[in-house]
Structure 1
Amino acid sequence: MIDIHCHLLPAVDDGPGTVEQTIEMAKRAVEEGVTAIVVTPHAFHPQFETEDLNVQEAAATLQNVLRQEAIKLDIYPGQEIRVFGDLVQALEDGEALSLAGSRYVLVEFPSDTVPAYAEQLFFRLQAEGYTPVIAHPERNKELATNPKRLMDFVSSGALSQVTTSSLTGEFGQNVKEIAFVFLRNGLSQLVASDAHSTGRRTFYWEEAKQVVTDELGAGRWETLVENAEAVVKDEFVFVDPPILPTKNWRGKWKK
């Protein structure tokens, strides 16, 4: 199992503060069945100063540390990129990184809104051969209240990735429900941990597998696992035709 969104690098952003904490996170990931992680520190985010970080070097250093600790976990470089107008140029200049050197670019919106220029930015990304992957759309207020925005992105070729901790209810029942709505209706095609620690913001892979299997079936879980592998291999990600979610007369999302 491959985790394509994880804050594993030590002393970089709001992830682990020390190498020792990173090692504990890595051990936890392996215990839960993870074989590879794309490290995705925040990039171009107003709260984190990571512009001087060489993610490739940091990932290689971490890989060596894990080998010394006999932890069987493959590490790939990536970033969780806060969207901004010059993202395409930053990717071309090597200032921004895709996931594991693939066509897939993990992008993050502000928590409350979707910038007005997002559609144009995604069009430019795709024109240059990249595929945007929207991180944790279930935790974006605008997408959660207006799923048609996400449907429009996916219909135009973008992907989205819900978080294991959202599926297990760590962010509350409302976030859990919309995460499943996105999976059930083909608006999200990927699951990742977005883990930051071994505490509350940990991996939750085992729990997520159980709840997804119970709710959507074992076949859907296997597809999600295969899609994450496809990202790292830079292969095609399986996409169901997206369906616009609807609510019943009580205001609850229909299954």
Structure 2
Amino acid sequence: MSVFINLLNFGITNNDVFMGIFNKKIDVKELFPEGFVDIHSHLLPGIDDGAKSIENSVELIEKMFKRGIQNFRTTPHVLGSVWENSSLTIKEKEKELKTALIEKGHHDIQIHAAAEYMLDEHFSKLLGQDDILVLKEKYILVEMSYFNPPFNLDDILFQIQIKGYTPILAHPERYSFYHNTDQYAKLIEAGCLFQLNLLSLIAEQYGKQVTKTAYDLLKKGMYTFVGTDVHHKNHVRLINAIANKKNKKMLMPLFENNMKTFSFDS
């Protein structure tokens, strides 16, 4: 008892002590199960705000490999006039990256290039042309503006599903206009699956409110999948901060969903 009384003098509560034990750090390689598939990253060279060159791409992948990730369904932005990446351009960069990895001796790293599509007019045009790069089978990764959702969001989601695709909404925790609302449940009812950004679990990256929302959605079981959303070396470094027993336990169902749905074995 005297220990906790003394700790209270420093503003530390019994709960803090308990959570400190529960949040015991683990080696980052222990966080990810063998065979984990990262379904959100920006590792292709020079085509969006991620890797800047083929050397940078290989460097990022090598750093992630050291943390226990070797399977990547990477997702460059396709965003209106900002990142006008075509399916052809993306696949050309995929080929370039695969060649570079093999030349470096990385025969055990798996790469598949899809895309992260902004839900805008350009995306609607691509959807109408059936020019969509899937993560695997019917799944596509989509995102929204951080300022507001598309005015015709319900119609876009409907059209995606009419075309036979299943939309996975990237990092819903980062859309502040949905915080403290019932809109998340409505999106799931509309057919959206949710993908958590791993780095949303630490306030250093996106802020305390995003972290709070991420944990709230996680505890409610609203996420189906998880991704790193790695763009650069600092993102890779920050993955280390997530590695504790509490997060591993909470994330394991999502890790398993990624592996079951996006495995390279089938």
TM-score over 0.5 (shorter chain): yes
Task: Give the C-alpha shift of residue 180 in structure 1.
Answer: 0.8
Task: Give the C-alpha shift of residue 125 in structure 1.
Answer: 1.3
Q: Which residue of 2 aligns with 1:124?
A: 159
Structure 1's unaligned 5+ residue stretches are: 235-255
Q: Which residue of 1 aligns with 2:260?
A: 230
Q: What is the total number of aligned residue pairs between the two structures?
A: 227
Structure 2's unaligned 5+ residue stretches are: 1-35
- Out of 84, 87, 93, which is 2:120 matched to? 84
- Secondary structure of the residue aligned to 1:132 is strand
Quote the Cα distance in structure 2 between the aligned partners of 1:31 and 1:161. Answer: 23
Q: Which residue of 2 aligns with 1:172?
A: 207
1:1-255 alignment to 2 at 5 Å?
Answer: 1-51=36-86, 54-71=89-106, 72-85=108-121, 87=123, 90-91=126-127, 93-100=129-136, 102-146=137-181, 148-169=182-203, 170-199=205-234, 201-202=235-236, 204-210=238-244, 213-214=245-246, 218=249, 220-233=250-263
The one-letter code of the counterpart of 1:96 is: I
Please, what is the CA RMSD of the aligned residues?
2.2
Quote the Cα distance in structure 2 between the aligned partners of 1:94 and 1:156. Answer: 21
CA contact (8 A) 1:103 1:129 kept: yes
More helix by percentage: 2
TM-score of the superposed pair, with normalisation by structure 2:
0.77
CA contact (8 A) 2:37 2:263 kept: no
- Secondary structure of the residue aligned to 1:230 is helix
Quote the Cα distance in structure 2 between the aligned partners of 1:191 and 1:21. Answer: 23
TM-score of the superposed pair, with normalisation by structure 1:
0.80
Indicate the percent of aligned positions where both proteins have the same amino acid.
Answer: 26
Q: 1:91 to 1:132 in 2, by over 3 A?
A: same
